[in-house]
Structures are given as C-alpha cells and as structure tokens.
Amino acid sequence: MTMRTPTQSTRVLIRLTIAAALSVFPGSRLAASCSAGRVFEPCGFSFSSSGHGFSRAVNAVQVNPALAAAASFFGLPQLFNAQAASQQDQSQRDQEQQQRDRDQQARDREQERRDRDQEKRNAEQARLDRQQELYDRGREALDEARYARAEKNFAELSQLKGTQTDAALYWLAYVENRQGKRDAALATIAELKSSYPQSRWRKDAEALEIEMRQNSGRPVSPDSQSDEDLKVLALQGIMNNDPAKGIPMVEKYLASAADPKDKSKALFLLVQSGSPQAQETLAKIARGQSNPELQRKAVEYLGMTGGKASAKLLAEIYKGASDPDVKHAILRAYMIAGDREDLANLARSETDPDLKRDAIRQIGLVGGKAELESLYQSEHSTEIKKDIIQALFLSGDSTRLAQLALSEKNPELRKTAIRNLGLLGAKDPSLQSIYDKETDRSVKEEVLNAYFIGGNASGLVAIAKSEKDPELKKAAVSKLALMNSKEGNEYLMDLLQK
C-alpha cells in the first residue's frame, strides 16, 4: 500500500516522540542506533516525499517498546490510525474508480457491439426491402402487360439469391414466354427446377413448360388475354349452374399457366359458390397446396368470407406456417374479417417482432381500442408500446392518446403520444395543459411539433405569447412563420410593430 507523506505537524510530533524515547530510555537499542545528528531518522527510517518513511515510522513504533511508550504519551497511535484510515479510504476510492472505469469500458464495448449488430440488421433489412421492391414492381408491370419492364425486375431479383429467387425465376420465365422468348423461358424453368427442386413454384413452372412445348412453333396471340377472359366467364357460368362439375375445372385452371389476374378471378368463383366442396378446395389452397402467391390470395378470400369456420382455419394455418408472408396475409385477413379477438391473441403470443407489430397495427385498423389498452398495460417493451400508441392513432382514440401524453412516465412514450395527437389534428385542448405542466424540454418541443403538424396556429400563438424561454418562444414563432395562417400572421405583425 502506498503511504501518503505525513504533514508538518505529524513530523513535529514524531520528532518529539523520538526525543522523549531517547531521554526516557537512554540505554535502549533505539539510543544506540540513533546518532545526535540523525535524530530525525532513527532506526533507519526517514521522511521522504514518497511517503515510505512514514510507513516505516509507523512500523517502528509498533515494534519498538521505547517508541511505542513515547508515541502513546503524545497520542500518536490515534494520529497514525487516522492517517492509515485516510490512506485506506483513498485506496478504496481509487479501486472503486478503477472499477467504474472498467464498467464504463465494458458498457462502451457492449454499445459498440450493439451498434455493429444494428448496422448488420439495417443492411439485411435494406437487402430484403430491395428484393420486395423488385418483386412488387415486377408484378405491377406484369399486371399492366409491360413485360419488358417486368422481365428486367424479375431478372435482377433472381440474381440476388434471396428468399424470393424461385418466385422470381418463375415469373421471369412467364414474361419471357409472353414476349416470345421460349428458349430463354425454358432455360429459366430448367434453372428453377434444378436449383429449387422443392420449391412450391415448381408445379406452376412445369405447367408453363408443358403449355410452351404444346404451343411450340405457334406465335403468341395478341388475343390470348381475351381468350383467358372468356375461359373465366365460362367457368363462372358452369359454377353457377353445376358447381359439382365446375369445381374440378376451376382446380385444373388454377394449376395451369394462366395469367395471375385470371387465376385470382377463378379462385374467387370458389368463394362465391359457398358450397362445402368449393370451400374445401379454397381451404386446400390456403393451406399451401399451390404457389405462395395463390395461397396468400386464398387466405385473403377466407378473411372476406368471415365466420367462425374461416377464423378457425386461419388459426390452424397460422400455427403451421413457416412463411412470414403467409402469416402477414393471415393477419390482414383477420383485419378484413374484423376479428379483433384473434388479432389480440396473436399480438400477445407472437415472438417475431415484425409479426407482433403487424398484429397490433391491424387491431388499430379495426378500431380495437379495448384490446390495445389491454396490450399496453401488459407490455414492457418501450418499442412495442410505441407501436401500440401508433395503433391508437389508427383507431382514432384521441382520448387515450391525450391520457398517455399527460400521465405516461416515460418521456419517449409521452412524445410518441403527443406526436400522434398532432397527426389527428392537434385540436385537443389537453395539449396546452400538457405543455404547461411538462418539465422535459424535448417533450415541450414535441407539443410544438404537434401543433405545427396539426395546423393549430392558435395553439402556437398562445405558447409564443406566454413562453418565457427564448429558445422555445423562437421555435414557436419559426413554425408560425411557415404556416401562413391568419391568426399566426397577425401575431407576427404584432411582433414587428413592437
């Protein structure tokens, strides 16, 4: 342990102790070992700037009877003890500071790790978003018969080697065929079959291949689309007159290489029929006995039919599904059916953050205010609570948003509630009360933003007139300057005339 250099008063007392010991015990080993010229350094110890001399002095007093008796007379044991305690306290503080430094370094390393992980997640999300964007653009171009543009999007998507590559290859072959590029289309189908032998797009690709080989040598007819329309109309007529005969024909049509829009129309014929056989066929497709795109469309139609049977089937499909897109489609189907109860149950039990957020959003879209309140009370994650607040906005629950803006202890959640109040129009009178009671500057700024977003110039004028903080007042005035409102302009004119 490093000892501190003793103070001048301590040195004086030690000198007196040594002198007293020499006079009381002239024949002791202390007297023999100390010379008249080195009375300040008896028995080999001295007082240096390093403090080691004081440490040796303390030790000498503890082992030398003469010094111990003299030290006791002058009260040096208490002085030494106090000095030692002070040194121990300092050592303890130094150790605690070192521990705090280590803890901070550990926190910094952990934050750096989280930042790196977040960067990776952001990069992965950007990659997935790009893939979805290409798929959506390709399907949109296909629906609009812009085959060259669709080909470009699906070709790029197929090169990204993501989760939608097999779908991209199928649609690439489809549009290549529509443009008369049969050899390229057949090569693309071969790639799909060899690279993704278990793909659910394989059957559709094989149906397209068969059709292409049957039509080999025949040019693509510009009237083929109208031919497909006639087929769908024919199927509709048969389904209306003889469902037992029509259902197998619809199933065959759905397994063909027909245009996706026409397949959706044929699938809807099953919904319109309402017969048990038609509903069973629809259920099979919804369970995944077709390509993923047609499955999602079948799930959507189940939501449109509604009822307990459809809700039960959707729950079974959701539980057994591994494709997140299918699960998202089921959540939307619940929303279409207005099924708040099943949505709330999934919002509670779902562990996937994206699916959980989607379930909460769908509850907001169907106006499930009570379900959202229950979820908010039981939720611990700040981020998920923000999603619930956003869903409250979707449900139009301004009353609950105002309550959270006033009473929520978490400033981030208060700001989220205030922001969504602004999106609802910021006419709620509680915003002024929130501003007046608030002590967090960032929350006050959020109220100003809410007034601005909601176009509430009168609220901003009231704050600008009463606010004593120059920066907040300036913020309110700057927003008024951008709004071009009558009340705001009048206040700005008043400022100029002062």
Query: What CATH number did the domain enclosing 425 receive?
Result: 1.25.10
CA distance 63 to 123: 71
Q: Is the pLDDT of residue 339 over 60?
A: yes
CA distance 326 to 297: 10
- Give the residue numbers spanning the domain of 185: 129-214
Does residue 253 share a domain with residue 204?
no
Q: Is residue 124 part of a domain?
A: no
Does residue 245 share a domain with residue 179?
no
Q: Is residue 118 part of a domain?
A: no
Does residue 249 share a domain with residue 183?
no
Does residue 262 share a domain with residue 210?
no
Does residue 289 share a domain with residue 232?
yes
Q: Is the pLDDT of residue 74 over 70?
A: no
Does residue 133 share a domain with residue 201?
yes
pTM of the model: 0.63
3-state helix/strand/coil string of 113-133: HHHHHHHHHHHHHHHHHHHHH
Structure confidence at residue 75 as a pLDDT band (50, 70, 90): low
Q: Is residue 107 part of a domain?
A: no
Does residue 240 share a domain with residue 209?
no
- Burial level of 381, CB count in 10 A (0-12/13-18/19+)? exposed
Q: Is residue 392 part of a domain?
A: no
CATH number at residue 206: 1.25.40.10
Q: What is the pLDDT of residues 166-190, one digit of tens each?
A: 999 999 999 999 899 999 999 999 9
Q: CB neighbours of 466 closer than 8 A, spacing ≥ 6?
A: none
Q: Is residue 60 part of a domain?
A: yes
Does residue 328 share a domain with residue 243?
yes
Of the three residues 337, 370, 385, the one that is the final residue of a domain is: 337
Does residue 417 share a domain with residue 333?
no
Does residue 490 share a domain with residue 418?
yes
Of the three residues 190, 214, 238, the one that is the final residue of a domain is: 214
Chain Cα centroid distance, residue 281:
39
Q: Is the pLDDT of residue 259 over 70?
A: yes
Q: CB neighbours of 92 closer than 8 A, spacing ≥ 6?
A: none
Q: Is residue 238 part of a domain?
A: yes
Please count the structural domains in the chain: 4
Does residue 160 share a domain with residue 206?
yes
Q: Is residue 122 part of a domain?
A: no
Does residue 233 share a domain with residue 206?
no
Of the three residues 337, 362, 384, the one that is the final residue of a domain is: 337
Q: Is residue 105 part of a domain?
A: no
Structure confidence at residue 441 as a pLDDT band (50, 70, 90): confident
